[in-house]
Amino acid sequence: MAARLGHDDYALTRVPQRARYPWLSVATQRFGQISGLSQFLLGATLGFGLPFAQAFLAFTLGAVLLELVVIGVGIIGQREGLSTSVLSRWTGFGQGGAAVVGLVIGLSAVGWFGVQSQLAGSSLEKILGLLPVWGWSLLFGLLVTVIVTYGFRWMAWTAYITVPAFFILATVSVVIELRRHDLGHLLTAPAPGPHLSLVQAVTLVAGQFMVGAVISPDMTRFNRTPADVVKQTIVGITLGEWVIGSVGVLLAHALQSKNIVVIVTSSVGWVGVLVIVAAAIKVNDWNLYVSSLGVTNLVEAVSGRRVDRAWVSITLGIAGSVLGAAGILSHYTDFLNLLAVAFPPIPAIMIAEYFVVRRWRSQLASSDTTLPMSSPMWVPATLVIWLLASLFGKYVKFGLPSVNALVAAFVLYLVADRIGLLRGFGSHDTEPAAVKSALRQSI
């Protein structure tokens, strides 16, 4: 019944080569994921507190950091054909740690789902009326839930429609608004709002897409080659961070506001609503998709039972829509700051294990089509490293929190390996789940 309802999309198995896509198809989704309305919101937040040059520098530093992380974990996902939460079983975390990773990703992505749902809901209420913000937020969330229920293919076709629509409509609204102002003045004008430090700005930039960096394997497992991962990352992050983010900075300076709904809708009315809705759909389907993958892995890791990703998507979609209706957007900046230090240790540990330490790399290499026979149950040292690196990023005052957490996790993992602390405790037999999953995928 669940299979007829939606598509499981290899939630707990490797994506076979026959199910992978050309790089441009995946790149379109990458661009849609990073260039949505949240990027306008981030640009407006930075522009409200920084002059253009400093905001652009913050985007540059944050984008370079993100590209390195995304390419590193993205190539791992492409090579192994596995989602982040499943892959983490053999990249330092073990079965129990992977369950924690799946839980963290699932909860965070649902939070982002609520942010985007509320943005779309408030925009629709402003222009169309008829329903309150919470009503539009719920309807929007349910629409995205239907798309995600049917998996990557439906999301790809959604990207083909919404990404060009967003780009065209956003360009129209931006040109109309910026023609009313002197561009030279906007580029040199002081920030209209309270000052934001460069460290705070880079932290916001890195935090805004750090969840996207962590879950890159969820997307890149559908790529065909490592070169495809590099191309789509550079194109998507460069255009998303520099172009969309910089435009958000200019609009904040032009309208003396960081309210993205006011900024986008003030000059073009209902066209601005289409911009917001088109952008939010493409970002939000990935928020819900990766959340469904994380929770599916969590349930299988904890209980040994396989639940269908389609039904998980429906459950989480309803929960995320309620979060949007409840007004999660008001905590946007605090949410970003939390992500900036909590998530960098995850990809740092995965990259350190897969490319340098390689303690469990041979298990992944033992099969090209199914999961390895077993995985470690717990790797306690990894969980301690994750916690210590997160605290280091949060409380150490010099440098950038995201970079501090990332580097600390990478170094601590290598040190733990050198002094013999990286040991798995217990063993989890993954073959039964892998076989059952493969059989279901072939039906």
CA gap 424, 377 in Å, rounded: 7
Is the predicted pLDDT of residue 361 greater than 50, yes or no? yes
Is the predicted pLDDT of residue 37 greater than 70, yes or no? no
In words, the CATH class of domain 37-330 is mainly alpha
Segment 174-211, tens digit of pLDDT: 777 777 778 788 888 888 888 888 887 887 777 667 77
- Domain positions in the chain are 37-330
Segment 242-297, tens digit of pLDDT: 777 888 888 888 777 766 656 665 555 666 667 667 777 877 888 888 888 888 88
CA Rg, the chain, in Å?
21
DSSP line for 100-151: HHHHHHHHHHHHHHHHHHHHHHHHHHHHH-SS-HHHHHHHHHHHHHHHHHTH
CA gap 428, 433 in Å, rounded: 11
DSSP line for 335-382: HHHHHHHHSTHHHHHHHIIIIII-SSHHHHHT-SSS--SEEEEE-HHH
Report the SS3 class of residue 428: strand
CA gap 405, 91 in Å, rounded: 18
DSSP 36: S
pLDDT at residue 393 in the model? 86
Most confident of 30-39, 134-143, 327-336: 134-143
Segment 390-418, tens digit of pLDDT: 999 888 877 777 788 889 999 999 999 99
Q: What's the token pair of residue 430?
A: 């993954």
CA gap 326, 329 in Å, rounded: 9
Average pLDDT taken over every residue of the chain: 81
Segment 5-19, tens digit of pLDDT: 557 788 888 998 888
Segment 100-159, tens digit of pLDDT: 998 888 877 887 788 778 877 877 787 777 888 888 888 888 889 999 988 888 888 888
Beta bridge partners of 26: none
pTM for this predicted structure: 0.83
Which of 377-389 are b and which e, b meaning 16 or more Cβ less than 10 Å from the residue's Cβ?
bbbebbbebbeeb
pLDDT at residue 436 in the model? 47
Segment 43-98, tens digit of pLDDT: 888 888 888 888 888 888 888 888 888 999 999 999 999 999 899 999 999 999 99
**116, 261 contact by CB (below 8 A):** no
Segment 337-351, tens digit of pLDDT: 666 677 889 999 999
Is the predicted pLDDT of residue 433 greater than 60, yes or no? no
